Structure 1
Amino acid sequence: MKTKKTKLIIAILVIIIGLITLAYYKVERYADRPLNVKNETIFTLPAGTGRVGLESLLVESKLIQENHFFSWLLRVEPDLSHFKAGTYRFTAGMTVRQMLELLESGKEAQFSIRFVEGFTLREWMAVLQNAPYIKHQLADKNGEQIAEALQMKETKNAEGWLYPDTYLYTAGTTDLSLLQRAHQRMEKTVDKIWQGRADSLPYKTPTDMLTMASIIEKETAIKDERSEVASVFINRLRIGMRLQTDPTVIYGMGENYHGSISKKDLETPTPYNTYVISGLPPSPIAMPSESSIEAAAHPAKTAYLYFVANGQGGHTFTTNLDSHNKAVRVYRDLMKSKNEK
């Protein structure tokens, strides 16, 4: 009798162990099942979300199907349930286990934003406004208000004082914190270059040098000729000649600029119109690259006073008005010839 009872207990235990083993095997197989992700997917896990909440979000997002395996997986492997709030990037082929390990790691998705050299502050703010997952604190603020928010020391206008580059950020990052990073980097760059600048330059402050760099940035995209462009403007400043550079006119026109400037625009006074004012404008007119700042700090030693586009992407530099006018005629003839073809 005892033998039969013992055998029955053993049989039941074997069945139970078998069922547990089978269940464990199915749960483990489920863990290695890929998510329903065909293309890269951004998934946000709100703070305070528990096991049930996570499962609901995954089902609602159609990343997994509703079943009992998910909750059992978190019971069988409790280490996988220590997930952290944030925004994550799920990729094609990622398994349920890999997804949970990612959520446990806290390695949030990185996004990138590119601030282009030569863009104005207004253009930078438009880029920020259209960037995903950014928290906006500076919307509709002008250059002076942004400078105040960034606690700028050298200037009351943020124009020019932000370093152009590609910056990485996570979801929820503020536009203020991104611009703080760009400003801190520009501040260090300007300070380093200012300390090593050439002697006897007509700058009173680092802002003057940065303003010159912004004009150089807008005048040429060719790195190798930036020091020559700088020499033209430095030579003009030294003899009291007006800079007469179109980008400053355009900047002063603001939203009134629609792609071209007229003779009237050149004659209309603004704080930035260097056809009307003497010396440098009151602040930079764009965000200059580091190479333009270097050019402003180390201009070529030339006698150039003029330059004009050569129709091939670069410029022709001259020392007197007659030579400049000839270069202008050559450029216009070249453009006319190209338009007639």
Structure 2
Amino acid sequence: MFKRKICISRIDKIGDMILTLPVIKSIKIQNPSMEIHVLASAYNAKVLKNIEYVDKVFSIGSKTLSFIEGIRQLRKIKYDYFINFSPNIKSFILCFFSKSQKKAALILLSRYRNNFFSKALLRIFTKIFCHFQYVVNRFERLSKNQELHQTKMMFNLIEECNIKYSQGVSIDIDLPLKKLIFCQEKTIAIHLSNKWINSFYSENNLLELISSINNKNCKVILTTDHSTQDKFKKIYDYYKMISGIEFRNLTDTIDNNGSNKNSIQLISEAFTNNKSIQKNTIILDNLDYDSWVRVMYSSSVVITPECGCSHVAAACKTPVNIIYDPTNYPEAIHKEYAPWKSKYNKFIFNERNLNKNLIKYL
């Protein structure tokens, strides 16, 4: 029997992929025999690990030769549908060149001004090459206070394609089998994105926040990314740092141990076995994706600027305090990219008493 196939392109960031998961899952629920392939970037493909409602993942490289090879491999497969959710040009090219019976694309117009010519060339080519397009005039939707959430916009495109899907689907990623028990007290994870440091908030402000959390008898775990060491200087002098490899070895030991009491002891030693007087905070540096997810999943609360971490925490079902950039239309970004159907609190970097407000929601 002929099996229908659908290809979904999401070759951008981790947060974008996570916001797409409810759409993919909802299609699979209503079309269980349909084979779903997902095009992912090297960066966000890891989100799809062990997800049962995705049948195949293609990682599309960013370099030219790798991208061309991706097109060549893609054209070997005849899809019933090719759905492009990514706003970047490469994703549109993949859509246009695919051998698909029906092609569809989501087009996001500027959120900053109402320009008739916004994405005009892209809209023309999409009209030529695609059977369906869903154009989102973000500026108009914001001015009229209409729905703009990215996941909802993706569902709208699926509806345009007349593809059956389920309602009310939540985010579902591959979570660890068990949580790490860091301590008897609350554990607060803070992700050290470079967005912390700006004209409204300094590294000293962040150190004060960490100190205030410690004073609440909470442990603090600081996670890093590629931008952290370029922005933060004092943090590394204040707190002990454990590398991603060391942390992975520690968690392997804990998993083999099997005792919660011994696990707490091992982690407690990692916090306290250092010369610094700061005993309740630790930096976990350059964690691999699985370790990072496990820290988010095991934490009581996550605090982060608006970035992929906010969506990872939400997918882990961990409450998250998200801080938005006041210089980049925070209300618009929140309306468009807030975590999907999960518990979170919204803050803005220029609000008064930000640290006190963050601590209220621990």
Q: Sort the TM-score into its range (normalised by shorter chain).
A: under 0.3
TM-score w.r.t. the length of structure 1 is 0.24
Higher share in helix: 1
Q: Name the larger-Rg structure.
A: 1
Higher share in strand: 2
Taking CA–CA contacts closer than 8 Å with sequence separation of 6 or more, which of the two structures ends up with the larger relative contact order? 2
TM-score w.r.t. the length of structure 2 is 0.23
